[in-house]
Structure 1
Amino acid sequence: MENKSQDNNIMKKISTFIVDKRQGFFLLFIVAIIYCIISIPKVSINNDITTYLPANSETRLGLNVMHKEFTTFGTASVMVANISYDQAEEISKKIKEIKGVSSVDFDNSSKHFKSASALFDITFDGQEKDKVSIDAMSEIRKMLSGYDFYVSSTVGVDNAKILAKEMTSILVIAVIIILGVLLFTSKTYMEIPVLIIVFAVAAVLNMGTNYLLGTISFITNAIAIVLQLALAIDYAVVLCHRYTEEREIKEPREATIAALSKGAIEIGSSSLTAIVSLAALMFMQFRLGYDMGIVMIKAIACSLVSVLLLMPGLLMLFHKGIDKTGHRNFVPAIDFIGKLANKTRYVVPLLFIPLLITTFYLSRQTEFAFGQKDIPTIRQNETQIADQKIKETFGQPNILAVVVPSGNYEKEGELLKALSKIKHVTAVTGLGNIKVGDYVLTDKMTPRMFAELTNMDINDTRLLYAAYSLEHEEYGYLVNEFNNRSVTLYEMFMYAYQKVQEGYVTLPSDTRENLDEIHKQLVMATKQLQGKNYSRMVIKLDLPEDSKETFEYLPTVRKVVSEFYKENTFLVGESINNHDLATSFEVDDIVISVLTLLFVVFVLLFTFKSAGLPILLVTTIQGSIWINFAIQALSHNRVHFISYLIVSAIQMGATINYAIFITNRYLVAKKHMSISEAINEAVNGAFPTIMTSGSILSSTGILIGLLSSDPVISAIGSCLGRGTIISIFLVLFVLPQILLLGDIIIEKTRFTLQVDTYQKVQSGNVRLDGHIRGYVSGMINANIKGDLKGKIDAVIDSQNTSIEHIDETESTAQEEKNQDET
């Protein structure tokens, strides 16, 4: 008891300092807010999700090579519906004439014209973020404004901006809902502005300090503020409720100090479970988990700092308004839940066990997606609608890039032929099969063949070949069989064009135009397919991008490539990316599940000082997670694996607090009443807090699920919203029965040392010195020292408590002395 008293004194001293020095804290927060407002626009947002792949994954390694070696030009697939083929041809010609358009792939095959719809595959002169590509895309949209058209392209599309706009709308609606919840659960109207100010400051601090992290993902940036609001608002609510309770009997300053000293430990313990759950995300191989984990932990830390250091000053500042705007309690009493718990304490836990087993099995049947294109969302943006329309009409191409060491055109040509013969390969493109006239770029050509292709004079061509041989020190060709000298079309053409540009070769204007056109095509092909150290080939598959069948097929492609190149080869594409993610998910799923449970159990272990109680609480919330994803599995809708991992961690970390709220009150209440009465008081006492926090988190999650077009974020919202509702239900209608039935486990597994006690019934004049618990003309549970008139019926600590009878005279004299001193 002395240690506890000392702890309370320390907390009271700290709380007094915070309240008395509130002006100084106001100044510090003003400085921090100014810094963060300046920093927010400087935060670097990463739109490329592949950068979070493990550094040794095939996709990451292949992308690194491709970024260094090749140029990837911007592309667009444009479908125009309800037109004739003649109209489609005319549109194709117009698109080709637009500045910035390099090529338009369109013909009368079913790949490009089907069901009165035309599909134009467009390549731009620049990369997807280059101005020339963006301007060309804008011109295409203007030209097609009178048609029913759909554009699938990343050119000119800022997903981060689209997502930020959606989340702003969600945040506005969420704030309105939260205001409604707070109005319903608050005790005074003026406390609501205090809560809003505290959260706004916490949000600004978190967004501004993201600058210190360097770069954060667009997904984390978009969802962090909404999740912060949903997860951390109850910290402020707890302190506010504590203040209003203390204010009933104390002056504003003393009430604020008391509320802070009592609420700080409760708020800290509550936030710790959320922090450790989010910390588990940081151990993911897919580093997006680390990105979201560190930002959300920082968000909770900013919320804690704002609640513990800023809010006490605000309560003092607004105390007059808080006092004047009190209103009746709108939250109803829920005595029926406590009564139901007592009646069903032996039934519900027994029914809960088979439910846990069943939902665990069903949750493991959840179908996971590793790409985003095949996950439906309630709200869809323009690109998603276009992708779906094109997929329904023409199918969805699955494109893979094969990267191999460069320098051997013959081997590349053989590999291209081998790849084209594999099942499910519909097209193969590489330097070795790009046609120029009747030849491909890797064909070897004699002087005569080259002259016929380019319309150059045969004598000029021979001189060109001779110069080529001289520069490459191949002197033997100058003497023997010169006319049979062969050079690859690609090499000879680029050499010829260089000499024409340098003025060593003069050509007629029509031949020069022909040469320029071929050169433009070759340059485009070279930039995309030929690097300094590597060559790139592109293959199209008739398989889905994200499916088990595709993942099982990929080794077939690798085997063919390995027959020609033993090392330094890479496969890159959406299917490879999805396969890498699926591989890392197998480990991440286990790591996050185990670490989340261990971290939470560890926190609860030291919070309640009982080995059995944490197991009961975690089992309840883990059950809600299994039920949540069992429902997902039964719906036969795939969920993105990132959404699953994040929701599992957040649902455990956030909703375990609901169980803690009830358990805390239950443990306190049962000290002075029966466990049947204690559970009823605990549920009634915790219900307003659970109602406030739970309704905010669930409604915010549902909003995100309904209004976000991003498949990952939408799934996080809908699963978290549903999971929170399930957790609330289990905490209110299953946990009370588990606590009642498991009370013996709680008591038997306590860490505190039990001391010898005995029951004592005494009446008359009694002097007490020590600790007792029981009724002394009313309930008492304290360290006391003094005289008592009345009857004692209490549990006595035999080691530390003494009782002695005193006569009436001594008792009266002591009373007179006390009165004189008073």
Structure 2
Amino acid sequence: MEKEKKDDSFMMKLSTLIVDKRKGFYLVFILVILYSVLSMNRVKVNNDLTAYLPDTTETRQGLDLMEEQFITYGTARIMVCNVTYEEAEALAEQIREMDGVSMLDFDNTEDYYHDMEALFKITFDEEAGDEVSLADLNGVLEALSAYDVYYSSDIGQEERDAADLSNDMIIILLLAGVVIVAVLLFTSSTYAEIPVFLMTFIVAAILNKGTNYWFGTISFVTDSIAVVLQLALAVDYAIILCHRFMEEHEDKDAREAVIVALSKAIPEISSSSLTTVSGMVAMMFMQFRIGYDMGIVLAKAIVLSLISVFFLMPGLLLTFANAIDHSHHKSFVPNITLVGKFCVHTRVIVPPLLLAMVIAGAILSGRADYVYDVNTLESKTMSENKFSVSMVNQEFGTVNQLAVIVPNGDYEKEGQALRALERMPEVNSCMGLANIEAMDGYILTQQLSPREFAELIDMDIEVADLFYSAYAVDNSNFGAILGGLNEYKVPLIDMFLFIYDQKERGNITLEDDLEETLTEAYSQISIARDQLLGERCSRFVLELDLPAEGEETYEALERIRATVAKYYNYQDIYLVGNSTSNKDLSDSFATDNSIITVLTALFVMVILLFTFQSAGLPVLLVVTIQGSIWMNFSLPYLTGEVVYFLGYLVVSAIQMGATIDYAIVITSRYMELKAYMPIKKAIVETLNQAFPTIVTSGSMLVAAGFIISNVSTNAVVAAIGLALGRGTLTSIGLVLLALPQTLLIGDIIIEKTAFTLKRDITKPLPAGGRIRMSGHIKGYVKGVIDGEFSGVIDGEMGAVIRAKDNVEKLTAELPEENSKTQAQPPELEAVEIKETGDDQNQHTISGKEPDRDAGMEIPDGNGTEGEHSLRRRRRSRRKAGGSER
């Protein structure tokens, strides 16, 4: 029989296994939680967005080349406030003498001193990532502790960013936890289900955070928002299972209710998660690889949330079943019948208005001021570190530095290129080996004869000749010796390095004064060489009088390239800096935006196509949500604010993948209800039924976005949070106030574009009368009936049955024994529905016009044990002031 077949289904067997073996699953989860907790601290967080640039971009290739060819020493800009110039000069001399300080730039110009504020530009002896440099920086700050000091430095920046992120996450999670509990209290029907939700959420979050170790390194953006987004995105799954359990528990004991609820919830939740996962997958196709980083982590978060809901939550529901039964409370979610009536009355006005707003949103969002430089953004909350950096930038400006990489080996050509760059109005300063002064006005790369070199360092000419001869032999230039050394010239830097190398090898001995001069010169020359001269490349360092981004800057970059191309092959030149990174991001934005928009819409439409079996309906839903995305990002244009490009890309994917579920909830309910009631009445009832689900999930996602926006001290993370909160709010508004009218006015389109897959077809029952049936019924009969039923129904009704269930006319009255406890049925024609091969026992139920706010009344003495249990639970809830499901 049908029921037995259903009990033997795979889903029932799997659900039974999960519930009955719950203690074993508890043990597995405990072990996995321990693994995840131990793995959390081993996850590396990358704070550098340039690391996610595509390998094909010039910036990424240039950064890799610089890392391979050059050493970048640690630097710092330190601002000392409320000092005279004389005091600042004395402090500068004191710092120059400190261990670890290689160089300090300070003079009496506006760039270094004004308004009682001094700026020291310091270069340290070690690389930026070296712990020694961090200790040296802390030593300088300690020496200045008596003064009002602010600083900006690449030394220890990752550690400071990590500390800020950790502090932010603690506050964000605490506030998000408060919001989640408050929302669950507002929308739940029992107090005891809240601990079940929280334990399920926490376990899923721990699993996701710990398993990030599998990827080795994740971005700081992903690390900041993944946990909160996971809770907000996956809450629907736990709510669906809990509601299923409550429904089944009406007439089943706790164990059976959990099993049946899980068997029904698994396919429902799995299909619901597809749209969300599709949005995450779409991000993984972005050229900017941070999309892949966020997409795969969030997709994993959804999968792990499903695992927690399917394998952990059923056991928790059964464990807390008794507490759930005794902790019912009144639901505070109001009916929104007035909203439904508003939608009915405005069904002709709103759809054209929505279309106009979607078109306007698409146009205005395209005109928004998109920015790509992190320094352009400001977060509402600043950490001490961020505030210090902002103070330095505010007083002395930001430094827009550009590196130009060219092939090495020709100092003369380098000098010509540097002099040409220095003449450009966009270039404030330009540094390379070929324009650095060494001693007495000589340039490092300037070629000197033995006599000129001897006079420069006060050396005997005979000794200089010996050095030049040794250099010629070492470089196999024997012609210079044979032709005479008087005309043989060697670059100053090369001769200094050669002599120092010979001294270190013990091949020569120098007088004390000469050795001291050589050692001091070598220290400065080696710093310049390490930073500007590689094995295959030379590097020029430019400071630009330009903003970090914008068309003016991008055009100037091309002029700089063209200037250098007069001396080097165009394809051998690399420009690397914040401006080139921003240009690469700008160039990839249009492509990534198209990828996100097309793929998310395509994935979602395919899923909806098979869900609703209508070609027109997916279009209506996707246009509604895509419209909310465009409206979301048109608001900054109207308010004159900037839009961070990454916020647009990430939030577009999340907003389409996640908030489309709200539209699906409303559409699904509407499609069910309109089968047995007028569409106007169906849309009102739909909004009442769907509102609790939408307000629960939606309010959490909105809260998550705005909490991140207001708490995070990282401007990138804050920008994403703001766009997410605003976008989710926009989607909820359109789903509740515009989608219902669109469904009503587009009902004819839905019907005309509907198609049917091979499955059970439904057909409506008679509007009233007395019937006997054996088969599956779904609809309202003095309450909602949805399941296998065998018996007699008497009264007015609205429901659908499967086409394979046969209908026969009935004329007989109800059995005598039932008439004693029931009102006489109205004289209406009845129908008998029998399913082939099914001879289940018959039951008799009679009723009147369906009352959708009341439960199905079962006469005393004629119900089953499950029905008596149902009545007991309902009486208990009524005493507690709770609502019936």
TM interval, short-chain normalised: over 0.9
By how many angstroms is 1:144 displaced?
1.9
Change (3 A) 1:791 1:338: closer
Change (3 A) 1:558 1:210: same
Residue aligning to 1:675 = 679
Separation in 2, partners of 1:198, 1:549: 52
Separation in 2, partners of 1:758, 1:136: 82
Separation in 1, partners of 2:814, 2:425: 108
1:450 maps onto 2:450 in alignment: no
Residue aligning to 2:123 = 123
Q: Is the 8 A contact 1:375 1:711 kept in 2?
A: yes
Separation in 1, partners of 2:681, 2:253: 33
Separation in 2, partners of 1:386, 1:530: 33
Quick one: which amino acid aligns to residue 277 of structure 1? G
By how many angstroms is 1:213 displaced?
2.0
How big is each residue's C-alpha offset from its partner over 1:32-53, in whole Å with a ceiling of 9 and x where there is no partner? 2122222222223333322211
Q: What SS does the aligned partner of 1:74 have? A: strand
Q: Is the 8 A contact 1:239 1:263 kept in 2?
A: yes
Residue aligning to 2:464 = 461
By how many angstroms is 1:166 displaced?
1.0
Residue aligning to 1:440 = 443
Q: Is the 8 A contact 1:787 1:811 kept in 2?
A: no
Quick one: which amino acid aligns to residue 84 of structure 1? T
Separation in 2, partners of 1:503, 1:777: 105
By how many angstroms is 1:522 displaced?
0.4
Q: Is the 8 A contact 1:770 1:802 kept in 2?
A: no
Q: Is the 8 A contact 2:96 2:103 kept in 1?
A: yes
Residue aligning to 1:527 = 530
1:560-709 map, 5 Å: 560-566=563-569, 567-709=571-713
Q: Is the 8 A contact 1:456 1:507 kept in 2?
A: no
1:803 maps onto 2:794 in alignment: no
1:744 maps onto 2:732 in alignment: no
Q: Is the 8 A contact 1:183 1:192 kept in 2?
A: yes
Bigger mean CA deviation after superposition, 138-147 or 37-46:
37-46
Q: Is the 8 A contact 1:767 1:806 kept in 2?
A: no
Separation in 1, partners of 2:284, 2:12: 35
Residue aligning to 2:313 = 311
Separation in 2, partners of 1:63, 1:704: 31
By how many angstroms is 1:219 displaced?
2.0
Q: Is the 8 A contact 1:273 1:603 kept in 2?
A: yes
By how many angstroms is 1:588 displaced?
0.5
Residue aligning to 2:835 = none
Residue aligning to 2:203 = 201
Structure 2 portions without partners, runs of 5+:
818-831, 833-838, 844-863, 865-885
Residue aligning to 1:365 = 367
Residue aligning to 1:138 = 138
Q: What SS does the aligned partner of 1:537 have? A: strand
By how many angstroms is 1:13 displaced?
3.3
How big is each residue's C-alpha offset from its partner over 1:413-445, in whole Å with a ceiling of 9 and x where there is no partner? 111111112230111111101111210011110
Q: Is the 8 A contact 1:75 1:121 kept in 2?
A: yes
Structure 1 portions without partners, runs of 5+:
none
Change (3 A) 1:581 1:808: closer
Q: Is the 8 A contact 1:672 1:779 kept in 2?
A: no
1:56-455 map, 5 Å: 56-157=56-157, 158=159, 159-437=161-439, 438-455=441-458
Separation in 2, partners of 1:45, 1:66: 22
Change (3 A) 1:564 1:278: same
Quick one: which amino acid aligns to residue 731 of structure 1? V
By how many angstroms is 1:703 displaced?
0.8
- Pick from 539, 542, 548 the counterpart of residue 551 of structure 2: 548
Q: Is the 8 A contact 1:760 1:795 kept in 2?
A: no
Q: CA RMSD in A?
A: 3.1
% same residue:
47
Change (3 A) 1:298 1:580: same
By how many angstroms is 1:808 displaced?
7.7
Q: Is the 8 A contact 1:137 1:156 kept in 2?
A: no
Q: What SS does the aligned partner of 2:127 have? A: coil
Change (3 A) 1:572 1:516: same
Q: What SS does the aligned partner of 1:532 have? A: coil
By how many angstroms is 1:347 displaced?
1.3
Quick one: which amino acid aligns to residue 651 of structure 1? Q
By how many angstroms is 1:760 displaced?
6.9
Q: What SS does the aligned partner of 1:538 have? A: strand
Change (3 A) 1:553 1:4: farther
By how many angstroms is 1:575 displaced?
0.8
Quick one: which amino acid aligns to residue 94 of structure 1? Q
Change (3 A) 1:486 1:245: same
Q: Is the 8 A contact 1:772 1:801 kept in 2?
A: no
Residue aligning to 2:509 = 506
By how many angstroms is 1:763 displaced?
6.8
Quick one: which amino acid aligns to residue 605 of structure 2? V
How big is each residue's C-alpha offset from its partner over 1:494-541, in whole Å with a ceiling of 9 and x where there is no partner? 112223334444333233222111110001011101111111111111
Separation in 2, partners of 1:259, 1:799: 26
Change (3 A) 1:3 1:588: farther
Change (3 A) 1:506 1:679: same
By how many angstroms is 1:653 displaced?
1.2
By how many angstroms is 1:3 displaced?
13
Q: What SS does the aligned partner of 1:42 have? A: coil
Q: Is the 8 A contact 1:33 1:205 kept in 2?
A: yes
1:476 maps onto 2:479 in alignment: yes
Q: Is the 8 A contact 2:344 2:680 kept in 1?
A: yes
Q: Is the 8 A contact 2:407 2:537 kept in 1?
A: yes
Change (3 A) 1:187 1:451: same
Q: Is the 8 A contact 2:450 2:488 kept in 1?
A: yes
Change (3 A) 1:758 1:89: closer
Separation in 1, partners of 2:598, 2:432: 47
Q: Is the 8 A contact 2:76 2:122 kept in 1?
A: yes
Q: Is the 8 A contact 1:345 1:740 kept in 2?
A: yes
Q: Is the 8 A contact 1:544 1:550 kept in 2?
A: yes
Change (3 A) 1:451 1:611: same
By how many angstroms is 1:772 displaced?
8.8
Quick one: which amino acid aligns to residue 495 of structure 2? M
Separation in 2, partners of 1:380, 1:421: 40
Change (3 A) 1:653 1:773: closer
Separation in 2, partners of 1:642, 1:705: 14
Change (3 A) 1:808 1:165: closer
Quick one: which amino acid aligns to residue 411 of structure 1? K
Q: Is the 8 A contact 1:769 1:802 kept in 2?
A: no
By how many angstroms is 1:579 displaced?
0.9
Q: Is the 8 A contact 2:791 2:842 kept in 1?
A: no
By how many angstroms is 1:310 displaced?
0.5
Change (3 A) 1:588 1:779: closer
- Pick from 714, 720, 723 the counterpart of residue 718 of structure 2: 714
Change (3 A) 1:160 1:792: closer
How big is each residue's C-alpha offset from its partner over 1:278-309, in whole Å with a ceiling of 9 and x where there is no partner? 10000011111001100000001000110111
By how many angstroms is 1:801 displaced?
3.5
By how many angstroms is 1:476 displaced?
3.4
Change (3 A) 1:145 1:808: closer
